[in-house]
Amino acid sequence: MGFPVKGFPAGPLWLIGCGNMGGAMLRRWIAAGLDPASVTVITRSGKGAPDGVRSLTALPDEDAPATLMLALKPQQIDAAQAMLAPMKGAPKLLLSILAGVDHAALAGRFEADAIVRAMPNLPVAIGKGVTSLYTPGASAEATTAAEAFAGPLGHYEWIADEAHFDAVTALAGCGPGFVFRFADALAKAGAALGLPADQAARLAIATLEGSAIMAADADVSPAILADRVASPGGSTREGMNVLDRDDALVALLTETLAASERRNAEMAAAAR
């Protein structure tokens, strides 16, 4: 689990982009006590900023903020660079949530005392997210500041080797998308057996919720928990035999993560 939540670093926070992910993070930070008046959001549309946050469509003629977060699409990195070029001074901490885009590509484009890559996932919105962090050789002050932002979002971990960052992005960053798909598939499979669709959907989500919480709290692995559901000669084993045949589920998820990892690597290459 993440470390204890510390106070937010002093000074202004600017977000470049505030869509699904940046908006979820910002709303969670504000719920955790970040003063919205200390936040500026700069987007192309001027939309998506929470109440009380300054919302702009261009760089203000002001000194650089203490913390700057890039939360636009990786494909917009050059637009962000052009927009930020006239900024007066440099932020103490640049946080980037851009999938794929590596530290060197960021350092080549943006001035900052420290640059930290962060890969959150959508459940940060409820403080149950996963955020992976990476930085080479940042100061203790910068890593503490990054942890202060990651803490209220849920579980966070530093990734020692940037070469693993595309893989953690595939597993945890994209992961909620795959889990939501699984929930949908479980519900559809129930409906295929004749259950009303809305009932199947409710049962599928509640089953996922209980199972995930139980797995998170358990002192044994999910594999052992699975065996506890599967009574010998019973119906779970019969169903699990389908998932386990030729490692079908593992093979499907391995192919799924590999495809996402490949795409992250492509976006990284495009940003170099």
Ligand X SMILES: NC(=O)C1=CN([C@@H]2O[C@H](COP(=O)(O)OP(=O)(O)OC[C@H]3O[C@@H](n4cnc5c(N)ncnc54)[C@H](O)[C@@H]3O)[C@@H](O)[C@H]2O)C=CC1
Amino acid identity for residue 153 in this structure: L
CB of 191 to ligand A1CAB, least distance (A): 28
Question: Under rule CB under 6 A, how many of the chain's residues touch ligand X?
Answer: 28
Q: Give the residue from 19, 4, 7, 8 showing the smallest Cα distance to 120.
A: 19
> Per-residue x/- marks for ligand A1CAB, 83-102, CB under 6 A?
----------------x---
CB of 73 to ligand X, least distance (A): 5
R_g of the chain, CA atoms, integer Å: 21
Amino acid identity for residue 225 in this structure: L
Helix H or strand E segment including 68: strand 67-70
Looking at the Cβ atoms of 34 and 106, the one nearer to ligand X is: 106
Report d(CA 256, CA 253) in Å as an integer: 5
CB of 118 to ligand A1CAB, least distance (A): 11
Let me know: does 166 contact 112? Beta carbons within 8 Å. no
CB of 113 to ligand X, least distance (A): 22
> Per-residue x/- marks for ligand A1CAB, 159-198, CB under 6 A?
----------x---xx------------------------
Report d(CA 114, CA 142) in Å as an integer: 6
84 binds, among ligand X, ligand A1CAB, none (CB under 5 to 8 A by kind): none
**Strand partners of residue 39:** 13
Pairing of strands 129-134, 114-119: antiparallel
Of 116-124, 145-153, 157-165, 181-189, which segment contacts ligand X by CB under 6 A? 116-124
As to burial, measured by CB atoms within 10 angstroms (0-12 exposed, 13-18 middle, 19+ buried), residue 193 is exposed
Binding residues for ligand X, rule: CB under 6 A, are: 16-22, 42-45, 48, 71-74, 76, 79-80, 83, 97-99, 119-122, 173
**Interface residues toward ligand A1CAB, by CB under 6 A:** 99, 169, 173-174
